[in-house]
Amino acid sequence: MAESCMSCSGTGKEDCIFCFGRGKRNCTFCFGTGQDNGEACTFCFGRGKRNCTFCFGSGEEDCSTCNGTGTDPFSNDWDDW
């Protein structure tokens, strides 16, 4: 049996570092104001927020330590040999 990954507690997921797990980021075009020269920003439709493009709005990424498997990549089962 492989150990659970320490980084993600075996979930295989970790908070997206770009949106801090929120899944949304401030629109970089209007700096989160939702306004563009007095009109609704066309990039975020006036919301001021956009789905994070790195995690596609989920707020999660595959754990970089275990590549999303949830198991500790450093604990190999040597009995297989």
Contact positions vs Zn ion (CB under 5 A): 5, 7-8, 16, 18-19, 27, 29-30, 41, 43-44, 52, 54-55, 63, 65-66
Per DSSP (E only), the strands in 27-78 are: 35-36, 39-40, 49-51, 60-62
The full length of the chain comes to: 81
Structural contact between residues 2 and 75, judged by C-beta atoms closer than 8 angstroms: yes
* Calpha distance 65→2 (Å, rounded): 14
Tokens found for residue 56? 């596609």
Q: How far is the CB of 37 from Zn ion (least distance, A)?
A: 12
Considering beta carbons, is residue 57 or 80 the nearer one to Zn ion?
Answer: 57
Q: How far is the CB of 65 from Zn ion (least distance, A)?
A: 4
Considering beta carbons, is residue 37 or 81 the nearer one to Zn ion?
Answer: 37
Considering beta carbons, is residue 8 or 81 the nearer one to Zn ion?
Answer: 8
